[in-house]
Chains A and B, each alone.
Chain A
Amino acid sequence: MKFKTVKISEIDRQDHRFRFNLKPVDERILTGVKEAGVVQPLLVILREGRLILVDGWRRLEAALSCHMEELPVFELESRMGDLGAFQLAFFINYTQHRFSLAEKALAARRFLEFNLPAEEIIERILPLLELPPLKKTLEILLEISSLDGKSIEMIHRKDWKQATAELWLRFLPEERNWMLRLIERLTHNQQHELVETFYSVKKLTGVGPEIIVREKGLDRITGSLRKGESAAFDRLLAELRKITSPLRSRLSEEISEKIKELKLPLKVQVDYDPTLEKPGLKISFEARSAGQLEEIIKSLSENFSLNNWDSIFQLLNYRGD
């Protein structure tokens, strides 16, 4: 390994064969490079007369945006194979960052492309990546690594778990494309919930996300969601749950309606278990004086003559499908 200073233009920036780190250049790196230049040399290797970057993409990008022309590098022996060079890059990064699922997927693909036997990836690399040492896991990682750039970027940026990515893989490319625009502003948990619900809806109805949204007249809600209106997420989920959880959606809607019709004083709150596991109602109220208390109790007892209470308990004790 030789230390030297090279012109940035000498580095072939199109060759990404060793790249798997997806973290963007952040302020910290940028400030560091601006103030002190690139202190930690990049790792390069000579291939067919060109210098290929093995490690240091973020430093290179920071140097470019600071209009630097030269960089310090360690040049690896060119007789070192691609697998050896990649292993070096992998372990340098391994000690410095926690990898996202997308990065793990790209790393697994690189290892395989550089001819590390699948068994070795499964038994040696996957445990390092905190993944179960299963062939199935490797297969899933490889599938993830073949997704389009936008999906990979989302999986990385929102730190998706394997369960979300596995569901994502079951959609067609055009369905993923449509959903990407819908979910990009959501948190990972919200993304998971929506992706899983769309998966169930698709399985139950045989219809993809975009079509079901159109068929059910939900375009306005999805439009709001794309604009970043957070309440639209709950509304969309509630609508889709009419398909995936019809019984609970219907009962909850009816119970809420009956409670509303009771026109209880503002300070009285009626709650029930939204899973419907417990058939009871919880009624709570706040009174700040004996007079207020009397007033609330009076209005509640007047309310008891309404049939709605009975209907609410009937709904809570409903049996059926």
Chain B
Amino acid sequence: MDRLQIKKVWVDRKVESRPLTRQILERLGGCHVEVVDSLEGVLRAIRLASDPVGESKKNLYLTEQLSFIRPCPCSPGCVSCGYWNIDLDLNCPFDCSYCVLQSYLNYQPLTVAINRDGLERELEEFFQKKGRIPIRIGTGELADSLGLDSITSNAIFLTELFRGKEGVWLELKSKSARIQPLLEVKPPANVILSWSLNPQAVIDSEEKGTASLKERLEAAAAAFKHGYQVGFHFDPIIHYPGWKEEYSQVIVSIFKIIPAEAIAWISLGSLRFPHRLKLLARFRFPESMIYEHEFIRSPEGKYRYPRPLRLYLYEEISQIFSDYGAADKLYLCMESAEVWQAFMQKIKRGRRFIAFPFPWLS
């Protein structure tokens, strides 16, 4: 089971006396705490460590966030799924070899926005302005939605903010299995608990500090039993000898415990990363082989598996989902129009679903 390993807590003077700050410090017990006037001092400590990315994951910074909600930028040249992000935490205590945050966040420590009342106000406005298009929104882009939940209780906070809101789906996406608090409240119909899944061999080699596959699936089963809708993300799908059998076993295990109807959505995305990440992570994870796989440099500058391989991965996996009657829950994450079109043809869904692949939410 994943466990938090915080070395030091840095408290922005502006939030020193806020109740959430007190609550977090209490929960962390005897951790070394320093009050600072800016992020600079924290970054300095991180930069002076031999592994600044690893160090950033052991330092917690409690501060204020200026704004919280923004549309997901997707990737240039890719078909967007219209997702929205809430940036409540930044960075993640887990350490996945392929995680883009390693290069994206510039050594930002684990950061918690203490002024989450500001999010409440921003959301009110967001709900009013959102129009009639169904909205999917989540906290899992710049953080793991439950990675710091044992100290922030943000999951419950968000769940209550979204309860009863029509046409908006909140997604809490995680590689953690710590969902106990969410099992103690009545599940709102529009809160989706979702897990990123990979075969255990990939979790062992590439997803340091995360919950095991079994733990994630057990958590998903508990969420479903409690009445939540769940989601799954096969992202990144990693290609390696024996991948088909192992991914297929993962999918089989899902349907042993969760019926297709309880699944809100399933995303598929293959391994991809920007050049900067390759420079950094290749040497942070010397044992990992993923950076030596076969890639092309796509027009937006990212490394991706070649299209014939990506389509093969998606089609083989979607075939297994089809066997369980769940192919219509699938969508692709950060993929080109070419690949989307070929994929949609294969799973026999019309082109019109490319722009919004979740007709069942409308």
Query: Judging by beta carbons under 8 Å apart, are A319 and B296 in contact?
Result: no
Contact between chains at A277 and B283 (CB < 8 Å): no
B47 near A134 with CB under 8 A, answer: yes
Chain A nearest CB: distance from B246 CB in Å?
14
Is B294 touching A244 in the complex (CB atoms < 8 A)?
A: yes
Instruction: Return B315 CB to nearest CB of chain A, in Å.
Output: 6
CA distance A277 to B308 in the complex (A): 8
A321–B51 CB distance below 8 A: no
- Contact: A319 with B312, CB < 8 Å? yes
Query: Which residue in chain A gives the minimum CB-CB distance to B308?
Result: A318
B307→A277 contact, CB < 8 A: yes
B133 interface hit (Cβ, 8 Å): no
Produce 1/0 per residue, A299-321, CB < 8 A to B: 00000000000000000011111
Q: Which chain A positions have C-beta within 8 A of B361?
A: none
Task: Please give, as numbers and ranges, the residues of chain B lying within 8 Å of A170 by CB-CB distance.
Answer: 283
Known: A133-B47, A134-B52. A244 touches B292 (CB 8 A): yes
- Using known A-B contacts A134-B52, A136-B52, determine if residue A248 contacts B315 with beta carbons closer than 8 Å: no
> Do A277 and B50 contact each other (CB < 8 Å), given the known contacts A248-B294, A251-B308, A320-B312?
no
Task: Determine how close the nearest CB of chain A comes to the CB of B336; give it in whole angstroms.
Answer: 7
A278: which B residues are within 8 A, CB to CB?
338
Decide: A277 and B52 in contact? CB cutoff 8 A. Answer: no
Interface residues on A, range: 20 to 34
Decide yes or no whether B298 CB sits under 8 A from chain A. Answer: yes
Complexed CA–CA distance, A136 and B107 (Å) = 12
- Docked CA distance A170–B283 (Å): 9
Question: Which residue on A lies nearest to B310, using beta carbons?
Answer: A319
- 1/0 per residue, CB under 8 A from B, across A243-263: the answer is 011111001000000000000
Residues from chain A with Cβ under 8 Å of B201 in the complex: none
Q: Which residues of A from 196 to 239 have beta carbons under 8 Å from B? A: 200, 203-204
Count of inter-chain pairs, beta carbons less than 8 A: 72
A204 touches B306 (CB 8 A): no
Most chain A Cβ neighbours within 10 Å, of B47, B52, B299: B47
Complex CA distance for A135 and B52, rounded to whole angstroms: 8
Q: Using CB atoms and an 8 Å cutoff, list the residues of chain B in contact with chain A.
A: 44, 47-52, 239, 279, 283, 289, 292, 294-299, 306-309, 311-312, 315, 336, 338
The 29 sampled A-B contact pairs (Cβ below 8 Å) are A119-B48, A134-B52, A135-B47, A135-B48, A135-B49, A135-B50, A136-B51, A139-B50, A170-B283, A200-B292, A203-B289, A204-B292, A245-B295, A245-B306, A248-B306, A275-B296, A276-B306, A277-B296, A277-B298, A277-B299, A277-B336, A277-B338, A317-B308, A319-B308, A319-B309, A319-B311, A320-B308, A320-B312, A321-B239
Residue numbers of A with Cβ under 8 A of B are 119, 122-123, 132-136, 139, 163, 166, 170, 200, 203-204, 244-248, 251, 275-279, 317-321
